[in-house]
Structure 1
Amino acid sequence: MKKEFRIKKNEEFQFAFRRGKSFANRQLVIYYVRKPEQKHFRIGLSVGKKIGNAVTRNRIKRYLRQAFQDMEDRLPDEYDIVIIARKPTKEMDYGQIRKSLNHLLYKERLLKSGRGKS
Structure 2
Amino acid sequence: MAIKKALRIKKTTDFDKIFSAKNSTANKKFVVYQKPSETAHFRVAISVSKKLGNAVVRNRVKRLVRHALMTLSQNLSTTDFVIICRKGVETLTFDEVQKNLTHVLKLSKIYKKDNS
Q: Do they fold alike, i.e. is TM over 0.5?
A: yes
Q: Decide whether aligned partners of structure 1 residues 17 and 73 sit closer, same or farther in structure 2, where only a CA change above 3 A counts.
A: same
Residue among 15, 18, 30 paired with 1:16: 18
**Equivalent residue number for residue 58 of structure 2:** 57
TM-score (norm 1): 0.90
Runs of 4+ in 1 over 4 A off after TM superposition: none
Distance 1:47 1:87 in 2: 9
What amino acid is the match of 1:101? Answer: L
Cα displacement (A) at 1:113 = 2.2
TM-score (norm 2): 0.91
Distance 2:49 2:108 in 1: 24
Distance 2:30 2:16 in 1: 18
Count of matched residue pairs: 114
5+ residue gaps, structure 1, are none
**Equivalent residue number for residue 69 of structure 2:** 68
Distance 2:40 2:104 in 1: 23
Asked whether the 8 Å contact 2:32–2:108 carries over to 1, the reply is no
What amino acid is the match of 1:54? Answer: A
Distance 2:30 2:91 in 1: 13
RMSD (CA atoms): 1.3
Cα displacement (A) at 1:111 = 1.6
What amino acid is the match of 1:69? Answer: M
5+ residue gaps, structure 2, are none
Distance 2:49 2:17 in 1: 19
